C-alpha cells in the first residue's frame, strides 16, 4: 500500500510537524493497520462542549478507601466488557479462604503493599510494582504484610506475552526473570490444621475454597488443606514480574507507538507498561508527546501507579482514565511546552487497550472526576 500525500505534511510521522499544525494519527487496528496522518490547525480536543455519553473519563480509585476486610467484597469492578473486567481492590488482612476464578485468568498489579501470594504452586512473595499472573482455575489467597492495593485485570482469554518480533527474545525483559513459586516439601497443608509459615487454620476442621464460575460463587469445603502440592512441573503456573525488571525500548529521534510497551496480551486485550525512560532528545524536531488520536478500534484505559504524568496535568497516582473509541485524546496543550527541556519521563502506568467497548460500573461512577473532559482547554 503506497500512501497518498496531499497538502502540508510531515513525510516522517511524528517529526517536523508543519508550523502551525498539530498531528493526528487516524488509524485502524490500534496504529497497526491502514492510517492517515491529518495535519490540523486546531487540536481536535479543543471542544467547547460535549453533549451525549461519549467523553474521556477519569476515576479516582484511591478515593474509595473503605474496606470490609474481605478481598472478594472489596475488589470492586470499575470497567468491564465480555473480554475483560478491571477492578480495584484492597487487602488489609490475610484471607480466611482460598479463591479460584473459573471465569478467567487474573493479572494482579500491586499498586501498594507487600505480602505473600499462596497458591496451588506454592508461596510467592509480592511487592509494589509486581505483576502477578494467576491462571484460570488456580486456588490462591493473599496474605498481606501491610495494606495492599491491587489493580485486578480479569481476562476471559488466556494471558500471554506478546511476540517480540525483531526486538529479539530478551527485550524488554529476559523471560528468565519471571519468578514462579516453589512448593514446600510437605505442601502447605499440615495435619495440625495450621499452614506452615501461614495463619490459615481450618475452620471447624474444614478448609474453604470459593470458586467463581459465571459470576457466582460456590463454596467447596475440604477436611484437609487443599494447597497440598509438594511438587509441580510444566509450562503453566502462577508468575511474578516486577516493573523494575522491564527495560523499555525508546528511540532518541522517534516517538514510538504504545505497542512498543506491550507486556501482556489476551483475547481482545493488550496490557502495556509505561516506565521511566529517556525522551526524544536526539532531534529537536522529533515529537516528545503522543500524537492526537481517537483510537477508533480500541477503548484505552490508563492506571497511574506513580511518578509525574507529564502529559496529563491533574492526574495523580491511583487514578484511572478511560478514553473510549470515537472521541479524540492526546496531550494537553501545556504538556507540549512542559516537555521542551525535559529529557526523561518519571512515570509508571499500566495501560489496557480493549478491542470491545467498556462499560463503567456504579463503583466507577461514584469516584469519577466529572470535569476531566474539560482538562484539555486549560
Ligand atoms: Fe491513547
Ligand 1 centroid – CA 353 distance (Å): 9
Ligand 1 centroid – CA 30 distance (Å): 9
Which pLDDT score, from 0 to 100, does residue 289 have? Answer: 84
Q: Which residue has the higher pLDDT, 243 or 375?
A: 243
Ligand 1 centroid – CA 301 distance (Å): 8
Ligand 1 centroid – CA 300 distance (Å): 6
Ligand 1 centroid – CA 262 distance (Å): 13
Ligand 1 centroid – CA 325 distance (Å): 10
Ligand 1 centroid – CA 351 distance (Å): 9
Which pLDDT score, from 0 to 100, does residue 311 have? Answer: 65
Ligand 1 centroid – CA 133 distance (Å): 25
For residues 15-20, average pLDDT: 95
Ligand 1 centroid – CA 293 distance (Å): 6
Which pLDDT score, from 0 to 100, does residue 247 have? Answer: 97
SS (H, E, C) 170-185: CCCCCHHHCECCCCCC
Mean pLDDT, the chain, rounded, equals: 91
Contact criterion met (CB below 8 Å) for 80 and 359: yes
Which pLDDT score, from 0 to 100, does residue 195 have? Answer: 55
Contact criterion met (CB below 8 Å) for 210 and 132: no
Among 160-169, 209-218, 276-285, 331-340, the least confident range? 331-340
How confident is residue 314, by pLDDT bands cut at 50, 70 and 90?
Answer: confident
Contact criterion met (CB below 8 Å) for 77 and 363: yes
How confident is residue 250, by pLDDT bands cut at 50, 70 and 90?
Answer: very high
For residues 39-64, average pLDDT: 93
Contact criterion met (CB below 8 Å) for 335 and 312: yes
Say whether pLDDT at 253 is over 60.
Answer: yes
* Residues sharing a CB contact under 8 Å with residue 169, sequence separation 6 or more, in sequence order: 175
Contact criterion met (CB below 8 Å) for 321 and 375: no
pLDDT tens per residue, range 144-191: 999 999 999 999 999 999 999 999 999 999 999 999 999 887 766 555
**Residues above pLDDT 90, as percent of the chain:** 75
Cα separation, 31 vs 26, whole angstroms:
8
Cell 486456588 belongs to which residue? 139
User: What is the edge-to-edge ordering of all strands in the sheet holding 139-144?
Assistant: 122-126, 115-119, 139-144, 98-101, 207-213, 216-222
Say whether pLDDT at 196 is over 90.
Answer: no
Ligand 1 centroid – CA 334 distance (Å): 17
Q: What is the dihedral of CA 115, 143, 73, 214, to 10 degrees?
A: 100
pLDDT tens per residue, range 88-102: 999 999 999 999 999
Cell 527541556 belongs to which residue? 341
Which pLDDT score, from 0 to 100, does residue 199 have? Answer: 58
Which pLDDT score, from 0 to 100, does residue 240 have? Answer: 98
pLDDT tens per residue, range 102-127: 999 999 999 999 999 999 999 999 99
Which pLDDT score, from 0 to 100, does residue 35 have? Answer: 93
Cα separation, 127 vs 111, whole angstroms:
9
Which pLDDT score, from 0 to 100, does residue 146 have? Answer: 93
Say whether pLDDT at 290 is over 90.
Answer: no
Ligand 1 centroid – CA 72 distance (Å): 31
Ligand 1 centroid – CA 355 distance (Å): 13
Say whether pLDDT at 245 is over 80.
Answer: yes
Cell 481536535 belongs to which residue? 44
Contact criterion met (CB below 8 Å) for 349 and 305: yes
Ligand 1 centroid – CA 318 distance (Å): 18
Cell 469492578 belongs to which residue? 77
Cα separation, 331 vs 200, whole angstroms:
48
Provide the grid cell at 106.
487474573
Say whether pLDDT at 200 is over 90.
Answer: no
Cα separation, 283 vs 254, whole angstroms:
8
Ligand 1 centroid – CA 357 distance (Å): 15
pLDDT tens per residue, range 297-309: 999 999 999 998 7
3-state secondary structure of 193: coil
Which pLDDT score, from 0 to 100, does residue 273 have? Answer: 98
3-state secondary structure of 12: coil
Ligand 1 centroid – CA 299 distance (Å): 9
How far apart, in Å, are the Cα atoms of 241 and each of 122, 132, 207, 211, 376? 16, 7, 30, 25, 35
Which pLDDT score, from 0 to 100, does residue 337 have? Answer: 73
Between strands 76-80 and 139-144, the pairing is unpaired
* Residues sharing a CB contact under 8 Å with residue 171, sequence separation 6 or more, in sequence order: 164, 247, 249
* Residues sharing a CB contact under 8 Å with residue 62, sequence separation 6 or more, in sequence order: 149, 316, 317, 318, 319
The number of helices, as runs of H, and strands, as runs of E, in the chain is: 3, 22
Ligand 1 centroid – CA 329 distance (Å): 6
Ligand 1 centroid – CA 341 distance (Å): 23
Which pLDDT score, from 0 to 100, does residue 339 have? Answer: 78
Say whether pLDDT at 192 is over 60.
Answer: no
Ligand 1 centroid – CA 88 distance (Å): 21
Cα separation, 295 vs 44, whole angstroms:
13
Amino acid at each position: 500500500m503506497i500512501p497518498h500525500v496531499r497538502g502540508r505534511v510531515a513525510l516522517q510521522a511524528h517529526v517536523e510537524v508543519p508550523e502551525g499544525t498539530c498531528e493526528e494519527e487516524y488509524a485502524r487496528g490500534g496504529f497497526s493497520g491502514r492510517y492517515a496522518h491529518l495535519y490540523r490547525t486546531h487540536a481536535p480536543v479543543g471542544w467547547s462542549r460535549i453533549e451525549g455519553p461519549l467523553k474521556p473519563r477519569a476515576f479516582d480509585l484511591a478515593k474509595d478507601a473503605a474496606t470490609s476486610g474481605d478481598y472478594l467484597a472489596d475488589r470492586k469492578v470499575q470497567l468491564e466488557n465480555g473480554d475483560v473486567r478491571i477492578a480495584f481492590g484492597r487487602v488489609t488482612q490475610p484471607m480466611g479462604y482460598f479463591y479460584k476464578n473459573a471465569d478467567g485468568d487474573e493479572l494482579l498489579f500491586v499498586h501498594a503493599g507487600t505480602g505473600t501470594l499462596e497458591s496451588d504452586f506454592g508461596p510467592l512473595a509480592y511487592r509494589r510494582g509486581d505483576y502477578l499472573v494467576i491462571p484460570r482455575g488456580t486456588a490462591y489467597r493473599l496474605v498481606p504484610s501491610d495494606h495492599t492495593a491491587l489493580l485486578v485485570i480479569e481476562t476471559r482469554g488466556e494471558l500471554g506475552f506478546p511476540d517480540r518480533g525483531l526486538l529479539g527474545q530478551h527485550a524488554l525483559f529476559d523471560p528468565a526473570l519471571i519468578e514462579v513459586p516453589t512448593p514446600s516439601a510437605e505442601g502447605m497443608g499440615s495435619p495440625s490444621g495450621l499452614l506452615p509459615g501461614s495463619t490459615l487454620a481450618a475452620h471447624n476442621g474444614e478448609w474453604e475454597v470459593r470458586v467463581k464460575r459465571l459470576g457466582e460463587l460456590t463454596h467447596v469445603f475440604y477436611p484437609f488443606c487443599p494447597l497440598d502440592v509438594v511438587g509441580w512441573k510444566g509450562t503453566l503456573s502462577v508468575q511474578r514480574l516486577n516493573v523494575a525488571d522491564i527495560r523499555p525500548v525508546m528511540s532518541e529521534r522517534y516517538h514510538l507507538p504504545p505497542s512498543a510497551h506491550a507486556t501482556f496480551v489476551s483475547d481482545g486485550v493488550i496490557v502495556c507498561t509505561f516506565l521511566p525512560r529517556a525522551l526524544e532528545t536526539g532531534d529537536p524536531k522529533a515529537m516528545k508527546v503522543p500524537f492526537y488520536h481517537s483510537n477508533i478500534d480500541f477503548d484505552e484505559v490508563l492506571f497511574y501507579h506513580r511518578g509525574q504524568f507529564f502529559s496529563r496535568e491533574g492526574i495523580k497516582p491511583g487514578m484511572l482514565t478511560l478514553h473510549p473509541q470515537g472521541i479524540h485524546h492526546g496531550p494537553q496543550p501545556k504538556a507540549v511546552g512542559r516537555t521542551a527541556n525535559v529529557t526523561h519521563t518519571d512515570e509508571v502506568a499500566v495501560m489496557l487497550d480493549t478491542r470491545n467497548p467498556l462499560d463503567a460500573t456504579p463503583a466507577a461512577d461514584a469516584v469519577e472526576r466529572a470535569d476531566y473532559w474539560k482538562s484539555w482547554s486549560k
